[in-house]
Amino acid sequence: MPTLGFLKKKKTKEHDPQSPSTAIDNTPATPTSSGGHKGSLTSTSANTLSSTNSSNKGPETMLVNHGGPQPTSAPRSAGQDAPGTRAEGPAASGMSGIADDSGIQSQISGQTNGSSMQPTPTNPNTLAQISTQPNQARTTKGKYSLSDFTLKRTLGTGSFGRVHLVQSNHNQRFYAVKVLKKAQVVKMKQVEHTNDERKMLQKVKYTFLVTLWGTFQDSKNLYMVMDFVEGGELFSLLRKSQRFPNPVAKFYAAEVTLALDYLHAQGIIYRDLKPENLLLDRHGHLKITDFGFAKEVPDITWTLCGTPDYLAPEVVASKGYNKSVDWWSLGILIFEMLCGFTPFWDGGSPMKIYENILKGKVKYPPYIHPDAVDLLSRLITPDLTKRLGNLHGGSQDVMSHAWFAEVTWDRLAKKDIDAPYVPPVQGGQGDASQFDKYPEETEKYGEPGPDPHGHLFKDF
């Protein structure tokens, strides 16, 4: 599933991407690899299973077997950079791979403006202020039309449609446009998740999240205009590396932690954390994409959705849950980055994985740092009264853990720390070299005709 994210630079006022003067940093967008994460249960990935039964809705169950890879939910990278910000040239050439542990460690612990992750005390109050800042409502409905863009190539495909690399006819910037076929969305009973994705993407704006700039629709399709994230998926990098050195895993985990802290402060549960949904921008920083399962949850919800390996036991057991599931998933993510596999993975069916999750027995390889083991044991625990992130201290309990002792959180939030790996892409040039190639769409977009499903997507 392709994704799109937004890059950072200087703070500028946010401009309408439709304006000819608008300039947006292209951040790595990556379509989900066709070999997704072991039987994903997501609204836009293969083998989607979603059983919806929230506090204000009746039970609805759906089992969807997708025929192939799906476009990743459009990433939106929000944060300090506004669409009017132009990238300051292509990203510096970084490591072409991550095979040399010492090299990566030197990059991650190396210097950015003089230093990197230092044991500087964290200021929880500062981060809390950043995370809880109210977002200004952004208008996305009907901001663009097909005539505003020139289609370049397909970045990813799926059962609902595909993601295209496009170039704005106004500011010549490159974007990713996610195109979803209305008939398929309705057939697979993904109307609610599709509308929720648009709603969540419109609401959030943060450094480590992808940015949605606008949406529109025609008689057959829905269109979501997002930042083009050039660096690809963290999943691909992890598979090439097999597993990450401790400092590298810590860097990525720290950025994800900040993103979750921000989302939770907005009352949003992400619910689909995994390497495939983490994109690398041109400088190697993360962007979370694919918000198909993100949802505003003031108290609890009962929806069964996510990826089998990453599901918390309370979700598997069909119990009501809240933000605690994201912290469980963070633990699974850290474990996978450090080990190269997930703790409950089983070569058999997803049902076996669920059984392992409910048993809750985790075997930690001896090469994992003791501090990491301690953190993981406090995240991957079925006891909600002990799970970090779900306690009175919230996300600060996670950030203040000994494993993150070297992280200077306020600097990381500003991207003042160099990433351990810089994707080999030419920033701002529409470089899609990190994406697989797909046959192009044969059906022409924008054709007039009857629109039997338009009333289901009024906010597009």
DSSP label at residue 79 = S
* 3-state SS, residue 70: coil
CB atoms within 10 A of CB 124: 16
CA dihedral 430, 432, 438, 440 (to 10 degrees): 0
Instruction: Reply yes or no on whether 272 is catalytic.
Output: yes
178 has binding-site annotation: yes
**Max CA-CA distance within the chain?**
62
Q: How far is CA 334 from CA 30, 179, 248, 251, 372, in A?
A: 21, 32, 10, 10, 9
DSSP-derived secondary structure for 145-211: -GGGEEEEEEEEE-SSEEEEEEEETTT--EEEEEEEEHHHHHHTT-HHHHHHHHHHHHH---TTEE-
Beta bridge partners of 287: 279
Rg (CA), the chain: 20
Q: How far is CA 159 from CA 40, 180, 297, in A?
A: 13, 9, 28
Task: Given the residues 227, 261, 272, 326, select the one marked as catalytic.
Answer: 272
Beta bridge partners of 166: 151, 175
Per the annotation, binding residues are 178
Per the annotation, binding residues for ATP are 178
Catalytic residues: 272
